[in-house]
Amino acid sequence: MLETRGLTKSYGDTMAVHDLTFTAEAGRVTGFLGPNGAGKSTTMRLLLGLDTPTAGTAHIDGRPYRELRDPLRTVGALLDATWRHPGRSARSHLRWLAATNGLPERRADEVLGLVGLDSVSKKRAGEFSLGMLQRLGIATTLLGDPKVLLFDEPVNGLDPEGVHWIRQLMHALAAEGRTVFVSSHLLPEMEQTAQDLVVIGRGRLIYQGTMKDFVERAGSRGVRVRTPHADAMRTALRERGAEFTEEANAFVVSTLDSDALGELAFTAGATLHELSPLTGSLEQAYLELTGDATEFTTGGSR
């Protein structure tokens, strides 16, 4: 589990993170979203003890990073995936890391297998493609078999196969009971990867909760009702004072939910061929909720 309480960090006059309180639970993939400059990287650095909070706390597995007894076995982090070690092979790099952290050397081969790099384990990391480097970075985070994983923009620059692979891996890691905390600007991808969300803007918390609630609450576009008995349905909707628009044999109702519409159709004697809440996408919901928190906007309307 990963947790911040009243986390605050200022750099001179800049309040990078302000009174931020959120939790990322074990067994879940939690997406970490926010416009440019929202404070995501700062939060990640504070969680990993790479910077000191001005106020508040950032805990991993119940304590600050710097107080963890066995950091590599507790948390793995991928912050800059393009980091490379050109002189060494992937395998010797991982063996060296394992040895210097008191882990068995065979763990290097295990994680190379986990990320699908066994066939190129003897190749120098300097010759790796971006996708291979990303896998090597992830292998490094998994070395200590940690309970908590932090990934900052892990799918940047990856091809669809690589993106798909990372998504599956994150699901598998969470299913094993680990805490997976991941930031990304690729919202359609995030929508398929994360079950929970933490959204920040200008250093403050905008949303913490499930992906489903976020998309439904912010992105709701009403309920679509399709019926062969359009006249009966229209009359019932008007009598109820509902707001709706009409398409061929269908209504999009913005002021009643599916339960109420199902009951209304039943009492009006209108057979239902479709009753579907029109939820928006994560992208729509995100743009609605973070509109005011964006540091830079395009166009001259703001």
Chain residues binding ligand ATP by CB under 6 A are: 11, 14, 16, 34, 36-42
Contact 3, 59 (CB under 8 A): yes
Cα distance between residue 3 and residue 1, in whole Å: 7
Question: Which pair of structure tokens corresponds to residue 43?
Answer: 């939060």
Sheet with strand 2-11: strands edge to edge: 14-24, 2-11, 55-60
For the bound state, the minimum distance from the C-beta of residue 288 to ligand ATP, rounded and expressed in Å, comes to 19
As measured in angstroms, the least distance from the Cβ of 183 to ligand ATP is 8
| CB 287 to ligand ATP: min, Å | 15
Closest CB to ligand ATP among residues 144, 203: 203
For ligand ATP, which is the closer residue by CB, 16 or 150? 16
| Residue (50 or 272) nearer to ligand ATP, CB | 50
Q: Measured between alpha carbons, how far is 19 from 205 in angstroms, rounded to an integer?
A: 8
Q: Which of 99, 121, 101 is nearest to 111 (CA)?
A: 121
Minimum CB–partner distance for residue 228 and ligand ATP (Å): 50
Smallest distance, ligand ATP to C-beta of residue 270, A: 49
Nearest distance, CB of residue 72 and ligand ATP, angstroms: 24
Residues in the chain: 302
Q: Which parts of the chain are beta strand (E)?
A: 2-11, 14-24, 29-33, 55-60, 75-78, 148-152, 179-183, 196-201, 204-210, 223-226, 244-247, 250-253, 274-277
> CA 204, CA 289: separation in Å to the nearest integer?
13
Nearer to ligand ATP, 19 or 110 (CB): 19
What is the C-alpha radius of gyration for the chain, rounded to an integer number of angstroms? 24
Which tokens hold the place of 87?
Answer: 């002189």
Question: Is the CB of 44 or the CB of 261 nearer to ligand ATP?
Answer: 44
Minimum CB distance to ligand ATP smaller for 39 or for 144: 39
